[in-house]
Structure 1
Amino acid sequence: MPQPSNPIRHRPYEDSLAILLGTLLVALGLAFYNQAKLVTGSMAGLALLIQYATGLSFGPVFAAINLPFCVFAWRHMGWSRLARTLVALALLWGFTWMTARVVHFDHLDRVYAAVTGGVLMGVGLLVLFRHQTGLGGTNILAMHLQDRHGFRAGYVLLSIDAAILLGACFILPVGQVALSMVGVAVLNVIIALNHRPGRYLGTA
């Protein structure tokens, strides 16, 4: 489907609200996974694994492992997208910290957590992607490959996530890894079906 010659651009307030909403949804999905001791893909999944293995806080670990990808974004995607990514990372850190203190579960079924957490994170990432924003890490790489080479972001993320889930087998019980795979599949199917070049005509 060809792009129109003058696509409608997002207004600054629309981008701001989208980044707030997207990071809030991802933070809530991560709260489900953290409570159920599940792991997702991308750098968030790697940060969760490090947290489970070492007891370190999610936020600082997530920020540290994203630094190399932020350098990549600066070199290949420009200051505008890097600035949005840094804002989104800071908001996710803040929302994750806040959610851990205001949301508590007396009981959370792991199957429900895997599916619902995957949906929340998938929709949150979709919102961010449609406003030319990512959460660092593999999301930056996925958007770069889609924009420049036509690879669908969802399938790129799915391939990388498979490697992260393989590593989870050495830290989490097999049943929890299997449920994590279900959640990752849900997340990536949402992105793959809804984030295709030419389908969404709003631009940042």
Structure 2
Amino acid sequence: MAEDGARHALKIPPGFWETTATRHTPLEDVQGIATGIAVAALGVAMLGHLGFLTGGTAGLAFIVTYATGWNFGLVFFFVNLPFFALAIGRMGRAFTIKTILAIAAMSVLTGLQPHVLQFGPVDPLYGAVLAGMLLGLGLLALFRHRASLGGVGILALFVQDRFGWRAGLMQLAFDLTILALSFAVVAPRAVIYSVASAIVLNLLLAVNHRRDRYVAM
């Protein structure tokens, strides 16, 4: 009774903090999104350390960063700005708000990371595969809490929801196109490792991100 009275006083809808088979609580969203951002940021740090890239808007941000020396976090945030209109128009206000917050947090974290995390020598193939797995796991956590890291991820989720096509396979096609542009800023060997990383990332999403297996929102 006391709990119901407090909920009424705060105007919180019934079940707001209760998990169901189809809905996460706000606390679960915060935990899941924060974990996804942290894991994805670690993958970005690994790629940056090795001089590799990835696909999506993060790949575009890497290309601009390698070409100009600008801060990756700032470039990543601004590259994503044009996609916010698609997110709010097609994916809903809650998805858009969570995605904007995730992108902002990712930008800040990748900016701070060089001051708190440093790598020694890393085998390039191992690093590429590990970075792809980390980015894939981070995006999977975000997708399952109805958020993304913007850009191509938003478009891939929209296409999956609208047409039923796998988000991971859609993003792989976009990523390979973006990676083809990277020959202008990095050596061909780095591009090959970057492609391997992107394949690992998107296969992980294609296998694990399915609406018929995970329906919570």
Measured in 2, the distance between the counterparts of 1:97 and 1:68 equals: 21
**Equivalent position of 1:195 in the other structure:** 209
CA distance in 2, matches of 1:201, 1:137: 23
Of 73, 85, 93 in structure 2, the residue corresponding to residue 79 of structure 1 is 93
Corresponding residue for residue 83 of structure 2 = 69
Partner SS, residue 39 of structure 2: helix
| 2:71 is the counterpart of 1:41 | no
* Alignment partners' CA distance in 1, 2:48 and 2:69: 12
| DSSP-derived class of the 1:169 partner | helix
2:23 aligned residue: 9
TM value normalised by structure 2? 0.89
Residue of 3, 25, 42 corresponding to 2:39: 25
Tell me the secondary structure at the aligned position of residue 184 of structure 2. coil
Farther-moved stretch of structure 1 (93-102 vs 39-48): 93-102
Say if 2:180 is the partner of 1:166. yes
Which of the two has higher C-alpha Rg?
2
Partner residue of 2:159 out of 127, 141, 145: 145
Could you tell which deviates more after superposition, 97-106 or 14-23?
Answer: 97-106
Give the structure, 1 or 2, with the largest relative contact order (CA under 8 Å, sep 6 or more).
1
Q: Where in structure 2 are the equivalents of 1:131-142 lying within 5 Å?
A: 131-142=145-156
Distance 1:106 1:198 in 2: 42
Q: Which 4+ runs in 1 deviate beyond 2 A?
A: none
**Structure 2 residue 117 is the aligned partner of structure 1 residue 103:** yes
- How many residues align structurally? 198
Once residues 131 and 176 of structure 2 are traced to their aligned partners in structure 1, the CA distance between those partners, rounded to angstroms, is 18
* Structure 1 segments unaligned to the other structure (5+ residues): 1-5
Verify the 8 A CA contact 2:136 2:202 in the aligned structure 1: yes
- Shift in Å, 1:106: 2.5
Aligned counterpart for 1:112 among listed residues 97, 103, 126 = 126
Please state how far the C-alpha of 1:112 moved relative to its aligned partner: 1.6
Tell me whether 1:178 sits opposite 2:192 in the alignment: yes
Which one of the candidate residues 108, 112, 130 is aligned to 1:94? 108
RMSD (Å), alpha carbons: 1.1
8 Å Cα contact 2:71/2:111 also seen in 1: no
Q: Deviations over 1:154-177 (max 9, x none)?
A: 011000001111001121111110
Deviations 1:120-148 (A, max 9, x none): 00000001111111111000001111111
